[in-house]
C-alpha cells in the first residue's frame, strides 16, 4: 500500500554549468541559464510504502510525514535561491532532477527502519513537467 503527501515551496535557481561558455549554457538551458535566476513554484509529492499497522490502521502518521517534509525540504528551500542558499546547489546544478535527488537524500534516513519505507519522490517544476525518483 502507498500513502502520499503533497507540499509546495517556491524557490529560485540558475541552471548553468560553469565549465561551459555563456553561449553553450544558453543553448543547453535556455533562459534558465540567465545569471539573475528565476523562480518556480515547486510541488513535491512524497510516497511511502508499507502495510497498515494492525493497531492504528495506518502505514505512517501523515502528520509526522508533513513534519519531516517541512523540516527537511520546505523550511530550508522555501523562498530561497537554491544556488546561493541551499547546499549542495552551490556545487550541484539545481535542475529538477538534482533537486529531486537531494530531497530523496534528505528524506530517506527518516524511513530507514519501521513499517513505512520511502517509495518515491515526485517534484513538479511546472504543471506540465516533473521528475520521479524511486531511489537506488
Task: Provide the binding-site residues for Ni ion, judged by CB under 5 A.
Answer: 32
Q: Which is nearer to Ni ion, 32 or 116 (CB)?
A: 32
Closest approach of Cβ 66 to Ni ion, in Å? 26
Minimum CB distance to Ni ion smaller for 32 or for 118: 32
Q: Which residue is nearest to Ni ion (CB)?
A: 32
Q: How far is the CB of 94 from Ni ion (least distance, A)?
A: 8
Q: Which is nearer to Ni ion, 74 or 93 (CB)?
A: 93
Cα–Cα distance measured from residue 45 to residue 47, given in angstroms and rounded to the nearest whole number: 7
Smallest gap from residue 28 Cβ to Ni ion (A): 13
Secondary element (H or E) of residue 107: helix 96-107
Cβ-proximal residues to 10 (8 Å cutoff; 6+ apart), any chain: 39, 40, 41, 42, 78, 79
Angstrom distance (rounded) from CA 33 to CA 27: 9
Amino acid at each position: 500500500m502507498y500513502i502520499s503527501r503533497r507540499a509546495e515551496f517556491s524557490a529560485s535557481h540558475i541552471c548553468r554549468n560553469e565549465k561551459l561558455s555563456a553561449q553553450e549554457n544558453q543553448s543547453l538551458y535556455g533562459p534558465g541559464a540567465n545569471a539573475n535566476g528565476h523562480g518556480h513554484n515547486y510541488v513535491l509529492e512524497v510516497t511511502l510504502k508499507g502495510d497498515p499497522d494492525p493497531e492504528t490502521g495506518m502505514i505512517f502518521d501523515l502528520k509526522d510525514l508533513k513534519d519531516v517534509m517541512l523540516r527537511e525540504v520546505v523550511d530550508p528551500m522555501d523562498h530561497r535561491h537554491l544556488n546561493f542558499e541551499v547546499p549542495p546547489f552551490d556545487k550541484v546544478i539545481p535542475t529538477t532532477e538534482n533537486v529531486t535527488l537531494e530531497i530523496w537524500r534528505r528524506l530517506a534516513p527518516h524511513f530507514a527502519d519501521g513499517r513505512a519505507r520511502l517509495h518515491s519522490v515526485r517534484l513538479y517544476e511546472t504543471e506540465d513537467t516533473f521528475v520521479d525518483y524511486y531511489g537506488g
